[in-house]
Amino acid sequence: MTDTRQNPANNKGGSLLQHSARTRKRNAAERRFRAYGIAAISVGLLMLCVLVTTIVGRGTGAFQQTFVTLEVELLESKLDKSGTRDIDAIKKVTTFGYAPIIRAAVEAKVAELGIDSPLKAKEMAGILSKDAAATLREFVIANPDQIGETVEFRFLASSRVDGYMKGRVSRDSITNDKSISPEQLDLVDALVSAGVVEKTFNLAFITGADASDARPEAAGMGVSMLGSLFMMLVVLALALPIGVAASIYLEEFAPKNWLTDIIEVNISNLAAVPSIVFGILGLAVFINYMHLPMSAPLVGGLVLTLMTLPTVIISTRAALKAVPPSIRDAALGVGASRMQAVFHHVLPLAAPGILTGTIIGLAQALGETAPLLLIGMVGFIASNAPETIADGLLSPNSAMPAQIYEWAKRADPAFYERAWGGIIILLIFLVTMNTVAVILRRRFERRW
Amino acid sequence: MPTLWLVFALIALAALGFVLGRQRALASAGGDVKLLHSLPAYYGHNVALSAIVPAIAVLAIWSLAQPMMIESRVAAMIPAESIAENTTVSLVMSDVRRLAEGLDQAVEAGVLDAAGANALEAQNIDVRGLLGQVGVALGSEVSPEVLAAAQRYRSLTATGSMLKTIVVLLLSLGGFAWAYGRTHKDFRARNVVEQGIMALLILAASLAILTTVGIVFSMLFESLNFFGLHSWSDFFFGSTWAPNFRGDSELSILPLLWGTLYISLIALLVAVPVGLFAAIYLSEYASGTVRSFAKPLLEILAGIPTIVYGLFALLTVGPMLVRIFGQGEDGLLGVEWMSGATSVLTAGLVMGIMLIPFVSSLSDDIINAVPQSMRDGSLGLGATKSETIRQVVLPAALPGIVGAILLAASRAIGETMIVVMGAGAIAKFSLNPLESMTTITTRIVSQLTGDTDFASPETLVAFALGLTLFVLTLGLNVLALYIVRKYREQYD
């Protein structure tokens, strides 16, 4: 070809191997554009990294707790004056009655170790949690025969001491803090080197109940996990059957008319309605109108069901659509009715897809917080684990995300740490559910 | 819980019906399955469904309707003159309900016996003190009218529940007997059962509509109540948001709307460029391995619950911004522009991070839907890849991308947890992104949590806000879906 000859202007710069200024400019633009793309993805991934490291870095502390090991002499003269071991008489001694015993135990321990401290016994006992007396009382009521003996106990340390052990609290940061003094920290240092104060894994954070504002060291996620569990049971029991039934109708039987059109538009719009609107609906319908109990996991479950339904319906329809028509035709061909073709053949083949969609919907519902705020699942201390199923559904409880929000609201670094720790637990659940969904999809996905 | 037992009784009847129906059908054919019109299980299902479905439906409708009927009848009992100046019927009714519940609890706790609760008279006895013993705190002294209404409420509820149980059980038994009686070898059980199942499927599908209707009506009624107590012109056109629980509050949506839109704008300024460029790179440049690795990782961001982002805003991003823009001499810039961790920028940035995967995966789908022939044509004319993208692919994908951005905007407007934790609580018009501002969703949460009184405009305003939010997001979604759908048709 001699085309190049006809356009001599292009060749002015010399050989093709040497780029003209314009080509260089265009190539630079190309490189810049590509760099923007890489930068955008890096920003996204960087944010993910920052988020994950923040959560892990701040939250792992919640799984460890500082404990103080003491030998406590359960004085008969204080706890059971009558000496009859009558449980009702023992119960009359309040936690205030136990405080001197704990004080004495701390003092004895300090004296035994030969630590020289200017503190009074009461201040020494201040390194223990306010929970300590209650723990002791519970133990004594459960084991009245131990009165008069000396028992070794592991008490929770106060949240300030715990913070000191974890590096959250330093001598500088407590200058205006009435809850702890530098002398107490000196005492803690001495006790640490003696092995009396130590930081160990804290199972109570995973299994325990929430605690009041003054005792962040005793707060745990266990009860709110049960609340979430009951809500998820309600969601599963309602959203799965209703969602599957609705999808079967829309995908397999619905005639094309204005009514089904409305239903379809409706479902896709419901999927995008802000979650807080479902909370308003729940408050107005379930609580104000139907007078279901406030803060009950049943109400939470109902609200989350309405929220999850569109997700379940959309994924179920996709799963049904993926089953090739030849399956239906074959079933109809051997004499099955349309209903039999769907329920005996299409539905079982679509089951893995439906299950995947349901698990993803459940994971979404598990992490949802906003509607739960409106139906009152925050603002109180969820301290009682439900005993029966009806109790679990109807008595006030928190849920995992609501509990995290509750802790974040309390504006105390010790509770912040627990909020991050709660997020780790929540994310472990979500990751597990999503992994199961992905594995199910990989394992049972069929290419037709 | 009698309703629960009722449901269990119905389930038991249905199970029994299945067994008996199946047996009767087989017996009528002399044990020869081939003589039956349908498979034996269908006869069982027929009896079971007849026993349970109508009964459950009546139970559900009854449970929904009973409170409403009782409310209206009891409300009619309260004479107009006994309603004090600054209260409404609904406020008195909530007193009645609380008192009735209190009496129930008193009976349960054994302080009163059932007859005693009905015979109480306000003049003779300190009802408030009595209920205080069982832990029911009443706001004010009980007037005779309210006590009488509460007693009537209790008796109506008791009668209603009893009637409900009887009717539902009779219906169930009737359905059972009818279907059982019809069971015969020539009975077309399969057709009947399939019709029944079809009806159930349709019912499930209409539940979506029912939810929407429920949303709209629940908010509409309370909003109307609100506009009865508060002028609508102040709500839509006023300029101050100052709720005051002693009454006389200024409740205007405009400052809240401003905060909402401002935060959403910042979120979109973060999410759209990052999300769009990520989508372009992933769909046009990235190799298969990069794509299969980066796309799911980005989408993790979308799966993280919003409470996590909220905490991230409150405890990480907020303090970080304060360190940069605040703290005077100690700060990174040495300026004192920001005092607290909550601000428009805090919430906007974090929400932007949340929306990145939303924008990127939607745009990715849309860019992939642009036909390859258009790219090939452009590349064949000598355009570079970036020129092709900018001048051919993006214009072709533009309507879809606009739709995606609108969807992201609707998500941002309705987002709650991030703004509740990161945006602050001060309603004002300001352009400074470092100040804290409040949003519609934040105010809904704060007006509806804690002690709420459903007769005061300060609480009811939340429903008007919710309705506005619903209409706003719905409008954006419909518009976005319309644009996306219209665009899709062009290339399919």
Domains parsed from chain B with CATH numbers: 2-214 (no CATH), 241-491 (1.10.3720.10)
> Does pLDDT of A260 surpass 60?
yes
Work out how many CB contacts closer than 8 A connect A with B: 259
Joined together, the tokens standing for residue B183 give: 């069971």
Residue B38 per-residue DSSP state: S
For the residues of B166-228, what is the DSSP string, one character each? HHHHHHHHHHHHHHHHH--TTS-HHHHHHHHHHHHHHHHHHHHHHHHHHHHHHHHHHHHHHHH
Per residue in B132-189, pLDDT (tens digit) is 666 666 666 667 777 778 888 888 888 888 898 999 999 999 999 999 988 888 888 8
Residue A378: C-alpha distances to residues A285, A407, A413, B33, B113 (Å): 19, 10, 19, 59, 35
Query: In chain A, where are the structural domains located?
Result: 18-59, 62-201, 222-444
Nearest residue in chain A measured CA to CA from B295: A41
Q: How far apart are CA B56 and CA B203, in angstroms?
A: 13
Q: How far apart are CA B358 and CA B379, in angstroms?
A: 30
> Does pLDDT of A388 surpass 60?
yes
How many Cα neighbours within 13 Å face the side chain of B303?
22
Measured at the alpha carbon of residue B70, what is the angle toward residues B64 and B75, in degrees to the nearest 5? 130
Q: Is A434 helix (H, G, I), strand (E, B) or coil?
A: helix
Nearest residue in chain B measured CA to CA from A435: B300
Q: Hey, what amino acid is at A323?
A: V
Nearest of A170, A149, A271, A205 to residue A407 by alpha carbon: A205
Facing A277 at nearest CB: one of B278, B303, B466: B466
CA B328, B334, B335, B341 torsion-angle sign: negative
- CATH of the domain spanning A222-444: 1.10.3720.10
> Does pLDDT of B98 surpass 50?
yes
Task: Work out the minimum CA distance from B204 to partner chain A, whole angstroms.
Answer: 5
Chain B residue numbers with beta carbons less than 8 Å from the beta carbon of A408 are: 310-311, 314-315, 421
Would you call A289 and B67 a contact, using CB atoms and an 8 Å cutoff? yes
Query: Which residues are CB-contacts of B33 (< 8 A; sequence separation ≥ 6)?
Result: B26, B39, B40
Task: Work out the minimum CA distance from B124 to partner chain A, whole angstroms.
Answer: 31
Q: How far apart are CA A55 and CA A431, in angstroms?
A: 14
Q: How far apart are CA A92 and CA B266, in angstroms?
A: 60
Note whether B311 contacts A: Cβ–Cβ < 8 A.
Answer: yes
Q: Average pLDDT for residues B112-140, to the nearest whole number?
A: 66
Q: Is A388 helix (H, G, I), strand (E, B) or coil?
A: coil
How many other C-beta atoms lie within 10 A of the C-beta of residue B333? 12
Query: Which residues are CB-contacts of B362 (< 8 A; sequence separation ≥ 6)?
Result: B279, B400, B403, B404, B407, B408
Task: Work out the minimum CA distance from A285 to partner chain B, whole angstroms.
Answer: 7
Would you call B413 and A423 a contact, using CB atoms and an 8 Å cutoff? no
Per residue in B185-205, pLDDT (tens digit) is 888 889 999 999 999 999 998
Q: How far apart are CA B337 and CA B386, in angstroms?
A: 40
Nearest residue in chain B measured CA to CA from A289: B67
Q: How far apart are CA A419 and CA A55, in angstroms?
A: 10
Per residue in A110-141, pLDDT (tens digit) is 888 888 777 877 788 888 888 888 888 888 88
pLDDT, averaged across chain A = 85
Chain B residue numbers with beta carbons less than 8 Å from the beta carbon of A313 are: 208
Per residue in B217-232, pLDDT (tens digit) is 888 888 998 888 888 8
| Beta carbons of A332 and A338 less than 8 angstroms apart | yes
Query: Which residues are CB-contacts of B155 (< 8 A; sequence separation ≥ 6)?
Result: B118
| Beta carbons of B101 and B136 less than 8 angstroms apart | yes
Q: How far apart are CA A250 and CA A264, in angstroms?
A: 8
> Who wins on pLDDT, B378 or B457?
B378
Q: Burial letters for A417-433: b for 16+ Cβ neighbours within 10 Å, e otherwise? A: bbbbbbbbbbbebbeeb
Would you call B470 and A39 a contact, using CB atoms and an 8 Å cutoff? no
Nearest of A153, A156, A152 to residue A131 by alpha carbon: A156
pLDDT, averaged across chain B = 85
Task: Work out the minimum CA distance from B101 to partner chain A, whole angstroms.
Answer: 11
Query: Which residues are CB-contacts of B97 (< 8 A; sequence separation ≥ 6)?
Result: A291, B150, B153
> Does pLDDT of A4 surpass 60?
no
Element (H, E) at A309: helix A297-322
> Does pLDDT of A380 surpass 80?
no
Q: How far is CA B87 from the centre of its chain?
A: 29
ipTM of model over 0.90: no
Q: How far apart are CA B170 and CA B168, in angstroms?
A: 5
Q: How far apart are CA B142 and CA A411, in angstroms?
A: 40
> Does pLDDT of B408 surpass 90?
yes
User: A151 has which bridge partners?
Assistant: A72
Would you call B215 and A273 a contact, using CB atoms and an 8 Å cutoff? yes
Facing A339 at nearest CB: one of B4, B194, B214: B194
A197 backbone dihedrals φ, ψ, rounded to 5°: -100, 125
CA B326, B327, B328, B331 torsion-angle sign: negative
Share of chain A above pLDDT 70, in %: 96
Question: Scanning the structure block, which residue is given the tokens 């139906």?
Answer: A375
Q: How far apart are CA A64 and CA A167, in angstroms?
A: 13
Q: Is B140 helix (H, G, I), strand (E, B) or coil?
A: coil
Task: Work out the minimum CA distance from B346 to partner chain A, whole angstroms.
Answer: 14
Chain A residue numbers with beta carbons less than 8 Å from the beta carbon of B304 are: 51, 367, 427, 430
Would you call A390 and B4 a contact, using CB atoms and an 8 Å cutoff? yes
Chain A residue numbers with beta carbons less than 8 Å from the beta carbon of B289 are: none
Facing B277 at nearest CB: one of A37, A253, A379: A37
Residue B113 falls in which region: left (phi positive, over 0), alpha (psi -120 to 50) or beta: beta
Facing A253 at nearest CB: one of B198, B298, B301: B198
Q: How far apart are CA A264 and CA A241, in angstroms?
A: 18
Residue from A247, A267, A273, A417 to probe the interface with B (highest B Cβ count within 10 Å): A273
Residue B338 per-residue DSSP state: B
Question: Scanning the structure block, which residue is given the tokens 């705190």?
Answer: B137
Residues 87-146 of B with CB under 8 A from A: 97
Facing B444 at nearest CB: one of A48, A276, A426: A276
Would you call B4 and A378 a contact, using CB atoms and an 8 Å cutoff? no
Q: How far apart are CA B396 and CA B366, in angstroms?
A: 10
Query: Which residues are CB-contacts of A279 (< 8 A; sequence separation ≥ 6)?
Result: A303, A370, A371, A372, A373, A374, A375, B448
Facing A280 at nearest CB: one of B200, B205, B444: B444
Find the helix packing angle between A21-59 and B254-280, rounded to 10°. Answer: 120
Residue A72 per-residue DSSP state: E
Task: Read off the pTM.
Answer: 0.86
Facing A276 at nearest CB: one of B308, B407, B416: B416
| Beta carbons of B28 and B183 less than 8 angstroms apart | yes
Chain A residue numbers with beta carbons less than 8 Å from the beta carbon of B287 are: none
Say what the pLDDT of residue B117 is.
67
Joined together, the tokens standing for residue B204 give: 């499930």
Per residue in B299-341, pLDDT (tens digit) is 888 889 999 999 999 999 998 888 888 777 777 777 778 778 8
Confidence of residue B82 (pLDDT cuts 50, 70, 90): low
Span of A144-153, A234-243, B342-351 with lowest mean pLDDT: A144-153
Say what the pLDDT of residue B389 is.
94
Chain A residue numbers with beta carbons less than 8 Å from the beta carbon of B308 are: 51, 55, 367, 423, 426-427
Chain A residue numbers with beta carbons less than 8 Å from the beta carbon of B384 are: 26-27, 29-30
Say what the pLDDT of residue A1 is.
45
Q: Average pLDDT for residues B61-83, to the nearest whole number?
A: 77
Nearest residue in chain A measured CA to CA from B310: A405
Say what the pLDDT of residue A116 is.
78
DSSP 3-state percent helix, strand, coil across chain B (nearest 5): 75, 0, 20
User: For residues B284, B286, B292 and B296, what is the CA-based torsion angle, rounded to 10 degrees?
Assistant: -70
Would you call B311 and A420 a contact, using CB atoms and an 8 Å cutoff? yes
Joined together, the tokens standing for residue A371 give: 């509607």
| Beta carbons of B147 and B116 less than 8 angstroms apart | no
Q: How far apart are CA B413 and CA A356, in angstroms?
A: 29
Residues 147-166 of B with CB under 8 A from A: none
Question: Scanning the structure block, which residue is given the tokens 């005639």?
Answer: A255
Would you call B450 and A379 a contact, using CB atoms and an 8 Å cutoff? yes
Sheet holding A150-156, edge to edge: A150-156, A64-73, A197-201
Q: Average pLDDT for residues B457-480, to the nearest whole number?
A: 90
> Does pLDDT of A192 surpass 90?
no
